[in-house]
């Protein structure tokens, strides 16, 4: 009898022996990057050994039955005689075998909690199962290679400590799981989909040295065409310092450069040269805001070439990419996004950090390709406070055990030392303090005192009087109220930005605003805080509702950005009730910003003020660091497992969630292209591709809003996608209306 692993559309079958040996080899090579090659081999050769059962062979030949094929290898590897033969005699070897069992048992469904014998869906329950399909025929075809892995084991765990044992152990588990599931996916894909295999084989490998050469050529041409201003001279100094400091040995770096200092390209210079010097495999850019990730990725493509950059985030527009770069390139990008197989990866904070703590196959598959990379954490201060400690711990682990270098890149660095984190600042000459003085292009003033409220009509008056001005507020409601009051005055050049607009709509408005500013035309923009990061706009005057000092600093970055004026004005005001939540994170940041401004000497945006603000926010001032920066007690949970290493992988993944999943995404028919995509969704054989294209037409709404839209029958489910049914509920300037609002018109789209 021949034993098969997979079947193809042409009714051909892949031999199981070939699949197991192929996955074992690929998994081993992937794990060798971080010194765990033999463990990678073992999980690879054992993961599908249960497919040697007659039941599974009936299934693959067409029988409509379910067969457990992943418990077999997990149960086998934890037998004492097996552990002694392949791993060793110690208790730690037994624990390591159990980690391999976690990986093998969960290679389809995800890493499970260790759990208990009587708790279904846990590893211990799986290991206690007595009746699983017989797979003993495997030993007639498969032979497990024995290898003395004692040296590998010593090197692998040399940096582990008793205090962090469960942390190190669980992190290794996710990395090995990633090696297995990626190897499994690739081997299956290469057999079942020859077109994709050939497409990927056509790729031309490119070295970091070659990419740095492209970067230098681009910058040389760019610098020939810029004005010789003091700001541009300083940007060149920042660039030169980053290139020089790239020779520093791998570690945790910080890059403190004021807004407008060119830190995106300077950090890229550091990453490329550092990667070339220390033979790093790839560069990973981690960006907090989807509103700026696309422009950064496109800038990197312009500098380095389209063949180098992988853009992986929820708003990626595959159709537009295909139009610009071709079908094959778009297909290669889609395949590569599954495991981050590209020289430069641009992704989101949510995607990056949630993957590091996930238990799911789809999220963990790419994890092993993070090893031996240069990681740039852009706007590092924006990491959610409640997850700051586990995030930083993960970055330190990637440096210590997985060969990475990490750069914490921001204009407003938190107090890393106060959080117990040692960093090396890249900017030694000029220093961050000197840069603050050079890039000081605005004066910040606070309107009124303490909590004295600035009425909406006063803000409207300010905007009316200004020829060009930006007003940034904290809530969508406040933005809409101010916009409507300004509209009543028929203010020229008036625009609105908020999360009620889909990404396509926001991009169109930003382009129009940029053109009006460039042409010195009247332009007034009312926006929520989404405007504060990465949007290259330059207003002479900015009004900012009270927020955290880091947000105020970001707002200041949209004022006199290019230094064309002697000084810009940033006016901070305390808004009316609908512009200031009564509690929660935003309210807390406002209180601490007010305390810093009131009690700390110096400019509100000085480095010392920013440091004082973050020391308050992160609980450093009152000794609450642990409580504040690990609000879900993830580190505490892992420490409690140091003695038994019974890791609750599922519980940790559930606790580590940056974004509350209680919001719903609905697609708005913003333009004719959106309508075409919605129609395609009904009939497309590849609905996921259409869904990706529709992401730039989505708006997030709260659960109570969702219920209101359903009650008024304003939503339609199209192949699992919620679509707005009436275009009257999408305002051409302010975006999605509430279901309780009166629509602009009553025109059915379908």
Burial 531-552 (b: 16+ CB within 10 A, else e): bbbbbebbbbbbbbbbbbbbbb
Asked if residue 47 has pLDDT above 50, the reply is yes
CA distances from 262 to 282, 299, 610 (A): 22, 12, 20
Q: Are strands 730-731 and 735-736 parallel, antiparallel or unpaired?
A: antiparallel
Q: Is 246 exposed, middle or buried (0-12, 13-18, 19+ CB in 10 A)?
A: buried
- Cα–Cα dist 71/133, whole Å: 9
* Whether the Cβ atoms of residue 630 and residue 622 lie closer than 8 Å to each other: no
At 197, is the pLDDT very low, low, confident or very high (cuts 50, 70, 90)? low
The DSSP bridge partners found for residue 536 are none
- Cα–Cα dist 208/270, whole Å: 12
Q: Which helix (H) or strand (E) holds 167?
A: helix 165-192
Asked if residue 230 has pLDDT above 90, the reply is no
Structure tokens that stand for 606 in this block: 């000085």
Per-residue pLDDT at 467: 93
Average pLDDT of the residues in 556-562? 86
Q: Which helix (H) or strand (E) holds 253?
A: strand 252-256
CA distances from 596 to 383, 428, 590, 611 (A): 21, 27, 10, 10
- Cα–Cα dist 541/37, whole Å: 58
Q: Which tens digits make up the pLDDT trace of 152-178?
A: 999 999 999 999 999 999 999 999 999
Per-residue pLDDT at 573: 96
Structure tokens that stand for 691 in this block: 């869904």
At 441, is the pLDDT very low, low, confident or very high (cuts 50, 70, 90)? confident
Average pLDDT of the residues in 212-238? 90
Q: Among 503, 502, 496, which Cα is nearest to 526's?
A: 496
Asked if residue 195 has pLDDT above 70, the reply is no
* Whether the Cβ atoms of residue 23 and residue 47 lie closer than 8 Å to each other: yes
Per-residue pLDDT at 435: 92
- Cα–Cα dist 279/510, whole Å: 39
- Cα–Cα dist 352/52, whole Å: 37
Per-residue pLDDT at 315: 46
Per-residue pLDDT at 194: 66
Q: How many CB atoms lie within 10 A of CB 467?
A: 13
- Cα–Cα dist 683/125, whole Å: 43
Q: Note the Cα 255 to chain centre separation in Å.
A: 19
Q: What percent of the chain has pLDDT over 90?
A: 69
Structure tokens that stand for 459 in this block: 């803000």
Q: How many CB atoms lie within 10 A of CB 295?
A: 16
At 328, is the pLDDT very low, low, confident or very high (cuts 50, 70, 90)? very low
DSSP state of 581: -
At 317, is the pLDDT very low, low, confident or very high (cuts 50, 70, 90)? very low
What's the per-residue H, E or C state across 199-251?
A: HHHCCCCCCHHHHHHHHHHHHHHHHCCCCCCHHHHHHHHHHHHHHHHCCCCCC
Per-residue pLDDT at 750: 34
Asked if residue 667 has pLDDT above 80, the reply is yes
Sign of CA dihedral 386, 167, 349, 439: positive
Q: Which tens digits make up the pLDDT trace of 276-312?
A: 999 999 999 999 876 677 778 888 989 998 888 888 7
- Cα–Cα dist 513/516, whole Å: 5
- Cα–Cα dist 610/49, whole Å: 57
Q: Which tens digits make up the pLDDT trace of 7-42?
A: 887 888 999 999 999 999 999 999 999 999 999 999
Average pLDDT of the residues in 244-259? 96
* Whether the Cβ atoms of residue 49 and residue 36 lie closer than 8 Å to each other: no
Per-residue pLDDT at 500: 93
* Whether the Cβ atoms of residue 140 and residue 133 lie closer than 8 Å to each other: no
Q: What is the CA radius of gyration of the chain?
A: 28
DSSP state of 90: S
* Whether the Cβ atoms of residue 252 and residue 421 lie closer than 8 Å to each other: yes
Per-residue pLDDT at 107: 96
Per-residue pLDDT at 358: 96
At 534, is the pLDDT very low, low, confident or very high (cuts 50, 70, 90)? low
Average pLDDT of the residues in 378-405? 96
Structure tokens that stand for 644 in this block: 């038994």
Structure tokens that stand for 496 in this block: 């609105």
Per-residue pLDDT at 422: 95
Per-residue pLDDT at 612: 93
φ/ψ of residue 345, rounded to 5: -115, 130
Please name the residue ranges forming H helices in 378-530. Answer: 388-402, 432-438, 456-465, 476-488, 503-518
Sign of CA dihedral 351, 354, 358, 360: negative
Asked if residue 244 has pLDDT above 50, the reply is yes
Give Cβ neighbours of residue 509 (< 8 Å, ≥ 6 apart).
495, 496, 497, 501
- Cα–Cα dist 7/163, whole Å: 47
* Whether the Cβ atoms of residue 694 and residue 711 lie closer than 8 Å to each other: no
Asked if residue 321 has pLDDT above 60, the reply is no
Per-residue pLDDT at 385: 93
Q: What percent of the chain has pLDDT over 70?
A: 93
Structure tokens that stand for 504 in this block: 């396509």
Asked if residue 180 has pLDDT above 80, the reply is yes
The DSSP bridge partners found for residue 700 are 665
Average pLDDT of the residues in 560-564? 80
- Cα–Cα dist 174/357, whole Å: 8
Give Cβ neighbours of residue 130 (< 8 Å, ≥ 6 apart).
none
Query: What's the helix, strand, coil split of the chain in %, to 5?
Result: 50, 15, 35
User: pTM of this prediction?
Assistant: 0.88
Per-residue pLDDT at 325: 43
N residues, the chain = 750
- Cα–Cα dist 23/73, whole Å: 14
**Strand, coil or helix: 736:** strand
At 201, is the pLDDT very low, low, confident or very high (cuts 50, 70, 90)? low
Asked if residue 320 has pLDDT above 50, the reply is no
* Whether the Cβ atoms of residue 290 and residue 314 lie closer than 8 Å to each other: yes
Q: Note the Cα 188 to chain centre separation in Å.
A: 27
Asked if residue 508 has pLDDT above 50, the reply is yes
The contacts found for 55-59 with CB under 8 angstroms, 24 or more apart, are: 55/133, 56/133, 57/1, 57/3, 57/4
Asked if residue 660 has pLDDT above 60, the reply is no
Asked if residue 421 has pLDDT above 50, the reply is yes
Per-residue pLDDT at 668: 95
Q: Which residue has the higher pLDDT, 149 or 193?
A: 149
Structure tokens that stand for 352 in this block: 């990056």
Structure tokens that stand for 198 in this block: 């050939």
Average pLDDT of the residues in 507-514? 93
- Cα–Cα dist 555/472, whole Å: 7
Give Cβ neighbours of residue 577 (< 8 Å, ≥ 6 apart).
none
Q: Which tens digits make up the pLDDT trace of 92-120?
A: 999 999 999 999 999 999 999 999 888 88
């Amino acid at each position: 009898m021949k034993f098969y692993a997979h079947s193809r559309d042409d009714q051909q079958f892949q031999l199981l022996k070939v699949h197991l040996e192929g996955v074992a080899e690929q998994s081993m090579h992937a794990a060798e990057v971080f010194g765990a090659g033999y463990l990678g081999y073992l999980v690879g050769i054992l993961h599908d050994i249960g497919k040697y059962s007659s039941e599974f062979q009936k299934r693959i030949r067409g029988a409509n039955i379910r067969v457990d094929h992943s418990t077999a290898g997990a149960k086998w590897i934890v037998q004492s005689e097996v552990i002694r033969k392949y791993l060793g005699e110690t208790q730690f070897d037994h624990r390591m075998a159990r980690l391999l069992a976690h990986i093998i048992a969960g290679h389809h469904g995800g890493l499970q909690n260790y759990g208990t014998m009587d708790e279904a869906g846990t590893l211990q329950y799986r290991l206690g199962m007595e009746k699983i399909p017989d797979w003993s025929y495997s030993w007639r075809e498969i032979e497990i290679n024995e290898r003395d892995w004692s040296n590998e084991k010593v090197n692998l765990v040399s940096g582990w400590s008793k205090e962090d044992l469960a942390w190190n152990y669980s992190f290794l588990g996710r990395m090995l799981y990633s090696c297995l599931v990626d190897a499994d996916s690739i081997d299956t894909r290469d057999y079942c989909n020859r077109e994709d295999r050939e497409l990927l084989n056509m790729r031309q490998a490119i070295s970091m040295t070659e990419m740095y050469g492209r970067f230098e050529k681009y910058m040389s041409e760019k610098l020939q065409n810029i004005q010789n201003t003091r700001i541009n001279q300083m940007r060149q100094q920042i660039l030169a310092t980053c290139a020089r400091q790239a020779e520093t040995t791998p570690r945790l770096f910080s890059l403190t450069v004021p807004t407008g200092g060119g830190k995106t390209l300077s950090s890229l210079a550091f990453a490329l040269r550092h990667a070339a010097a220390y033979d790093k495999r790839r560069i990973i850019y981690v960006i907090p805001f989807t509103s700026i990730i696309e422009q950064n990725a496109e800038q990197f493509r312009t500098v380095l070439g389209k063949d180098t950059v992988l853009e992986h985030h929820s708003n990626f527009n595959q159709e537009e990419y295909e139009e610009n770069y071709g079908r094959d390139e778009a297909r290669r990008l889609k395949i590569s996004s599954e495991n981050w197989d590209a020289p430069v990866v641009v992704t989101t904070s949510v995607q990056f950090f949630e993957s590091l703590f996930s238990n799911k196959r789809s999220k963990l598959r790419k994890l092993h390709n993070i090893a031996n990379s240069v990681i740039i954490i852009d706007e590092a201060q924006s990491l959610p406070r409640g997850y700051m400690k586990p995030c930083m711990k993960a970055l330190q682990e990637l440096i210590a055990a997985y060969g990475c270098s990490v750069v914490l890149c921001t204009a407003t660095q938190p107090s890393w030392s106060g959080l117990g984190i040692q960093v090396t600042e890249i900017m030694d000459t000029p220093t961050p303090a000197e840069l603050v003085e050079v890039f000081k292009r605005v004066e910040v003033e606070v309107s009124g005192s303490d909590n004295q409220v600035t009425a909406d009509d006063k803000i409207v008056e300010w905007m009316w009087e200004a020829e060009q001005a930006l007003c940034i507020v904290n809530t969508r409601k406040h933005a809409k109220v101010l916009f409507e009051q300004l509209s009543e005055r028929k203010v020229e050049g008036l625009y609105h930005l908020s999360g009620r607009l889909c990404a396509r709509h926001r991009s169109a408005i930003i382009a129009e605003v940029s053109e009006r500013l460039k042409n010195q035309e009247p332009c007034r923009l009312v926006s929520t805080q989404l405007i504060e990061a990465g949007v290259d706009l330059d207003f002479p005057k900015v009004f900012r509702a009270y927020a955290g000092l880091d947000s105020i600093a970001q707002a200041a970055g949209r004022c006199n950005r290019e230094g064309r004026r002697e000084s810009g004005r940033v006016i901070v005001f305390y808004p009316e009730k609908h512009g200031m939540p009564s509690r929660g994170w935003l309210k807390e940041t406002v209180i601490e910003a007010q305390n810093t401004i009131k009690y700390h000497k110096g400019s509100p945006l000085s480095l010392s003020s920013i440091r004082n603000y973050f020391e308050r926010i992160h609980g450093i001032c009152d000794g609450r660091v642990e409580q504040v920066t690990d609000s879900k007690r993830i580190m505490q949970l892992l420490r409690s497992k140091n003695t038994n290493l019974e890791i609750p992988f599922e519980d940790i993944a559930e606790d580590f969630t940056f974004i509350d999943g209680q919001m719903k995404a609905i697609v708005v028919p913003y333009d004719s292209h959106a309508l075409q995509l919605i129609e395609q969704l009904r009939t497309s054989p590849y609905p996921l591709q259409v869904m990706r294209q529709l992401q730039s037409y989505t708006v997030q709404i709260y659960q109570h809003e969702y219920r209101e839209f359903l009650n008024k029958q304003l939503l339609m489910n199209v192949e699992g996608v919620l679509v707005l049914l009436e275009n009257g509920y999408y305002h051409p300037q302010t975006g999605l209306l509430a279901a309780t609002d009166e629509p602009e018109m009553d025109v059915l789209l379908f």
